[in-house]
Amino acid sequence: MNTKVLETVKAIVAASSNIVFFGGAGVSTASGIPDFRSATGLYNQRRGSKYPPETMLSRAFMLHHPQEFYDYHLNNLIARGAKPNTAHLVLAELEKAGKLRAVITQNIDGLHQAAGSKNVIELHGNTYKFYCLGCGQGYDLAFVDSARSLPPTCPICGKMVRPDVVLYGENLDGAVMQAAIDAIRKADVLMVGGTSLVVYPAAGLIDFYKGNKLVLINQQATPFDARADYILQGDIAKILPAFVENFDTKYER
């Protein structure tokens, strides 16, 4: 960790009231949510199924094998009892202090909201939300848990209720993407963390940032290191608390 860079970024954060944070799986690893693409991540675990996870997380699989799709989803994509970690808490705190405008996330775990963040732009949806394929009615996890059989069906129209996440073979929501682009375009500081930045749409989104305070926080090098104005290498859950005064005392870690 370069302490001089850290001090500079601390001063930038202290002076800004328009920070946008863009994050990926690395933000949630300290909460015990597996990173999809790392060596120990979800994509490299078969968990006794005959299908690879990429297949089971596709739109076609959901439609043709709804029961197996649901079994996989409920057992692997919902981390019951997962709690926000220091990275989530710091970002919520910065928003409350009027410094951070939006959190854009590739994660589907809802932990930013659990930490108290209000303006959360979820690029890939939210694994705790569900909706009916027929009439669009929204449902929560309690509804799915109480279903007599899987897949759950809509009490209003009888069609299948599906998770509100973006599957393989599906496009990202246009309005959600636009909200992310708008936030990034207007940002004074763009802080990017816990993402390798190799997966669509991460790379494209960063191109919309026109400022000169692009801060990258990551364990490994990324294809955007050359474009970053400041690089903080390390665990995001350990680095972010530096940006909130007396964070340790507040949260009694």
Candidates 39-47, 156-164, 190-198, 211-219: pick the segment binding Zn ion (CB under 5 A): 156-164
Candidates 60-68, 136-144, 193-201, 209-217: pick the segment binding Zn ion (CB under 5 A): 136-144
CB closer to Zn ion out of 13 and 160: 160
Binder among 147, 157, 198, 221 for Zn ion (CB under 5 A): 157
Candidates 3-11, 99-107, 109-117, 147-155: pick the segment binding Zn ion (CB under 5 A): 147-155
Site track for Zn ion across 37-76, x = CB under 5 A: ----------------------------------------
Q: Give the total of residues touching Zn ion (CB under 5 A).
A: 7
Is 73 in the active site? no
What is the DSSP secondary-structure string of the chain? --HHHHHHHHHHHHH-S-EEEEE-GGGTGGGTPPPSSSTTSGGG--TT-SS-HHHHTBHHHHHHSHHHHHHHIIIII--TT----HHHHHHHHHHHTT-EEEEEES--S-HHHHHT-S-EEETTEEEEEEEETTT--EEEHHHHHT-SSSS-B-TTT-PBEEEEEPPBT-PPPHHHHHHHHHHHHH-SEEEEES--S-STTHHHHHTT--SS-EEEEESS--TTTTT-SEEEES-HHHHGGGGSTTHHHHHT-
| 147 is a site residue for Zn ion (CB under 5 A) | no
| 154 is a site residue for Zn ion (CB under 5 A) | yes
Smallest separation (angstroms) from Zn ion to the CB of 162: 11
Sites of contact with Zn ion (CB under 5 A) = 132, 134-135, 137, 154, 156-157
**So which residues are the catalytic ones?**
124
